[in-house]
Homo-oligomer: A and B are copies of this chain.
């Protein structure tokens, strides 16, 4: 595949991943109290790459929207960490997003099958 085409499809892949970013982050937080590096590590295990510069703004938005809260926890390895967990609102939002994901999923898969 030509480099130009690869760039195009890479960008398209990035767009697809973007769409699922917040859902992914909320899913990880819903599983366990985690701090930023945990989230990056866990998502990497699912091939859903996220970098610091992307994650921190997302966490801020989620915090502002009161979908998550955090508690500071001291660390002996460096500065204190913010451990995040879902609020009730966050759980409600996550449920909604999962349903949205399921619907889009259904639509695209039908489209793929039918064409």
Chain A residues with a Cβ under 8 A of chain B: 1-2, 4-5, 8-9, 12-13, 15-24, 27-28, 30-31, 46-48, 65, 67, 89, 92-93, 96-98, 100-101, 103-105, 107-112, 114-115
Contact = CB atoms under 8 A, between A and B. Distances in A.
B22 A19 contact: no
19 contacts: A1-B92, A2-B89, A8-B65, A12-B23, A12-B100, A13-B97, A13-B104, A16-B23, A16-B100, A17-B19, A17-B104, A20-B108, A24-B108, A27-B111, A28-B111, A30-B115, A31-B115, A46-B108, A101-B108
A107 B15 contact: no
Nearest to A107: B46
